[in-house]
Structure 1
Amino acid sequence: MKSFEQTAVSVSADDKLSMAVIDLVARATDTDPLELDPLYDAIDPDLLDSLPDSDGFSSLEFSYHGYTISVAAVDDEITVALEGRRISADDSSGDLIGGEPST
């Protein structure tokens, strides 16, 4: 598995949160985004994309592809982060510490 250095991204108003989640998980797992499970199995992508325009939105967490995805409004931007544990196909797991899975 390739080294993964970034576990969070800031999303601009022009970007879709759903695409940021897919891209972040794909890079973390060194997987083609088209090979990931559909995001709609975890959360409604349209709902996710509407969050930046929602009054009073502060944060949301959900599970996707073995990660806890954290979406938060920080100042005037939205941050998407991977948190927690990653479960691999062979059921081994590793914590995301310092941006890299450890076993």
Structure 2
Amino acid sequence: MTQSLVAGSNEIHEQIVDGVAALEGTDPLELPPLFDAVDPDALEAIFAPTDGGTPRIGRIEFPYAGHTVTVVREDEPIVRIE
């Protein structure tokens, strides 16, 4: 099962935890800490706008709680969980 999430009001790391919890049918607090897979602050920083305000584009993929999480930023960050 795959879930794709377009950035909303939540930060990227919150979207990841919430998305995996939804796929697993569990409470987000029941999942292992995301920090065990990736540093949430570093993840947010990777996709933060530059000092000049230009959006950064790129892609990062990592395993978390038995799923592969892919974050792609072009116009908006998109989180895909497989």
Q: Same fold (TM over 0.5)?
A: yes
User: How well do the aligned residues superpose, as a CA RMSD in angstroms?
Assistant: 1.7
Matched, 1:9 2:2: no
TM-score, structure 2 normalization: 0.83
1:101 maps to which residue?
none
Between Structure 1 and Structure 2, which shows a larger proportion of helix residues? 2
Deviation at 1:33, TM superposition (A): 0.3
For structure 1, the residue ranges without an aligned partner over 5 or more in a row are 84-103
Between Structure 1 and Structure 2, which shows a larger proportion of strand residues? 1
For structure 2, the residue ranges without an aligned partner over 5 or more in a row are 51-55
Matched, 1:47 2:47: no
Q: Following the alignment from structure 1 to structure 2, what is the Cα–Cα distance between the partners of residues 45 and 73?
A: 16
Equivalent pairs, count: 77
* Amino acid paired to 2:80: A
* Amino acid paired to 2:77: I
Matched, 1:81 2:77: no
Q: Which runs of 4+ in 1 moved over 2 A?
A: 54-57
Matched, 1:21 2:16: yes
2:59 maps to which residue?
59
Quick one: higher RCO (CA 8 Å, sep 6+), 1 or 2?
A: 2
Q: Following the alignment from structure 2 to structure 1, what is the Cα–Cα distance between the partners of residues 10 and 44?
A: 9
